[in-house]
Amino acid sequence: MLEEQINKDYIQAMKAKDAVKSGTLSFLRAQLKNILIEKRTAGAEQPPKLEDADVIVVIKKQIKQRQDSIEQFEKGGRKDLVEKEAAELVVLKSYLPEEMSEDALKALVDEAIKETSAGSMKDMGTVMKVVLAKAAGSADNKVVSGLVKAALNQ
């Protein structure tokens, strides 16, 4: 469903001659196609479409790349490239589900710690895995990581 929305928006952006949106969505569509090809070569049945969870993973990866690029361009004094990447970042973020509140995430972290019987930082990976699975793409990994660290260090 999310993949279909991206394709529709891409066509609209092309018609509207929105260079930033069409360029960003074109690159995103190429990445999605690569994931689909990987799934086919991995021996899975030929899925006609990607699941929304797969699409969200790709979008998050693209967002992380844009954030890293912005950071590097700011260090290099390239204001023009920072603005371009920031505009692409806005387009990508519009396809993610609404972020969970910090309070809801704290509750998930506490629940995951009880569930996994985590007691130290050695268990962070296990707790992160549980929390991210329950958050289902609606939580920023950095925020979750910070909350898990804080909870395990108490």
In the numeric block, the tokens 């996994």 are attached to 116
Asked if residue 33 and residue 87 are part of one domain, the reply reads yes
**Sequence-ordered list of residues with C-beta below 8 angstroms from that of 52, at least 6 positions apart, any chain:** 1, 2, 3, 137
pTM beyond 0.85: the answer is no
Q: Total domain count for the chain? A: 2
Nearest to 101 by CA among 52, 135, 67, 148: 135
Question: Can you tell me the distance from the alpha carbon of 152 to that of 51, in angstroms, rounded to the nearest whole number?
Answer: 33
Q: What's the confidence (pLDDT) of residue 48? A: 60
How many CB atoms sit inside 10 A of residue 25's CB?
Answer: 24
Instruction: Place 42 in a pLDDT band, splitting at 50, 70 and 90.
Output: low
Q: Which domain holds residue 133?
A: 102-152
Output the six-digit token pair for 79: 């204001």
Instruction: Place 46 in a pLDDT band, splitting at 50, 70 and 90.
Output: low
Identify the domain boundary among 48, 74, 93.
Answer: 93
Residues 70-74: contacts with CB within 8 Å, 24+ apart?
none
CATH number of the structural domain spanning residue 132? 1.10.10.410
Asked if residue 80 and residue 24 are part of one domain, the reply reads yes
Percentage of the chain surpassing pLDDT 90?
Answer: 36
3-state secondary structure of 109: helix
CATH number of the structural domain spanning residue 37? 1.10.1510.10
Asked if residue 89 and residue 43 are part of one domain, the reply reads yes
Question: Can you tell me the distance from the alpha carbon of 14 to that of 130, in angstroms, rounded to the nearest whole number?
Answer: 40
Q: What's the confidence (pLDDT) of residue 153? A: 77
Strands annotated E in 7-100:
none
